[in-house]
Structure 1
């Protein structure tokens, strides 16, 4: 086959793909506020979620972040949002670190419940087009918050056009069933296993 024939064949193939894609896209006309879950052992759950928060900020849309569990360490995302985009994005850090750091289960439960109360308040506020619940899956995993309550709230009280993103390992099955979009991050390699610590600009 000559180069010209190969190019012509490629063009025909791509034209067919384009037509098929446009036919599919023509049927996708609905919009709704999504429940989005990022889970799995791989790195990138919060990173991907903050990517969507920054998209909302870039479009001038109000949004909010509630951080469960995390809190002891300053992060680039929090610093940037609080310093430059506080008018568009409320940021609430209502954790004090992982449970093995605090070593105080009662306090962990109280902080998680306070974070959930703030999350409900922000989700109910229809001015927020997206609310990120960062690491809530950890609080759910340890039963600091009842997953049935979270699912019931998302199904019955979340405004129709509000997106809610929930991150953290070990997402419970009830939450996965409730969600519209679920992504599981799979770990293939991680530098921590080679003795590399968390680094600025990569992990925080």
Structure 2
């Protein structure tokens, strides 16, 4: 019986491998991707920082621009600035969530400064990935012009540079323009049970 199960499993896996090999035959090209992580679930920024760490592990220069969490002492900021500053530039440009600042003009100015920094980093062809952390929030509140952002990514991003845009409520036109989009779905979250944000999980 065990031998039959093993044989059936081997046959099934061989068919899957053959199908995968056929699919991969036409996948030869490389391209700098526009990547969007959005949705109500946790993990958007975490996934983006995971990709930054992959770049570092491959010796690929990269950069982070944070549009919201400027004043936060986060684990990722400590790690990247303390150990990998030679490969990863880190720019915390935000001043906190908009309901904390309660100053629209200040929020717009911070978002514009972040976008100006982002454009300079993306234009640099030596930088292989730029993470625009929580830029979707700035776009949601119209602190940045979506048309300008999309035109820049289309016309000025170097061909092999990856750009990752995180934050909930990504606008439909951004989703349509992106090469890779992941929506994080929230199933359960401890905040609803009175558990606050904790080091190592949220920051």
Shorter-normalised TM-score: what interval? over 0.9
Name the residue aligned to 1:35. Answer: 34
Q: How many angstroms does 1:4 deviate by?
A: 1.3
Name the residue aligned to 2:61. Answer: 62
Q: Distance in 2 between matches of 1:73 and 1:201?
A: 13
User: Do 2:121 and 2:127's aligned partners in 1 also have CA atoms closer than 8 Å?
Assistant: yes
1:44 counterpart = 2:43: yes
Moved more, 116-125 or 71-80: 71-80
Q: Distance in 2 between matches of 1:20 and 1:117?
A: 45
Q: Distance in 2 between matches of 1:19 and 1:56?
A: 30
1:13 counterpart = 2:12: yes
Aligned length: 203
Q: How many angstroms does 1:3 deviate by?
A: 1.9
Deviations 1:18-62 (A, max 9, x none): 111111111111110000000000000000000000000011110
Name the residue aligned to 1:118. Answer: 117
Q: Distance in 2 between matches of 1:96 and 1:107?
A: 9
Any gaps of 5 or more consecutive residues in structure 1? none
Equivalent position SS for 1:145:
coil
Equivalent position SS for 1:72:
coil
Q: How many angstroms does 1:72 deviate by?
A: 2.1
Q: How many angstroms does 1:154 deviate by?
A: 0.4
TM-score normalised to structure 2 length = 0.99
Deviations 1:58-111 (A, max 9, x none): 111100000001112110000111011001000000001001111111010000
Q: Distance in 2 between matches of 1:173 and 1:191?
A: 29
Name the residue aligned to 1:185. Answer: 184
1:151 counterpart = 2:130: no
Any gaps of 5 or more consecutive residues in structure 2? none
Q: Distance in 1 between matches of 2:58 and 2:2?
A: 44
User: Do 2:71 and 2:92's aligned partners in 1 also have CA atoms closer than 8 Å?
Assistant: no
Q: What stretches of structure 1 move > 4 A for 4+ residues in a row? A: none
CA RMSD of aligned residues (A): 0.6
Name the residue aligned to 1:160. Answer: 159
Name the residue aligned to 1:91. Answer: 90
Q: Distance in 2 between matches of 1:123 and 1:45?
A: 20
Q: Distance in 2 between matches of 1:67 and 1:143?
A: 17
Q: Distance in 1 between matches of 2:178 and 2:144?
A: 18
TM-score normalised to structure 1 length = 0.98
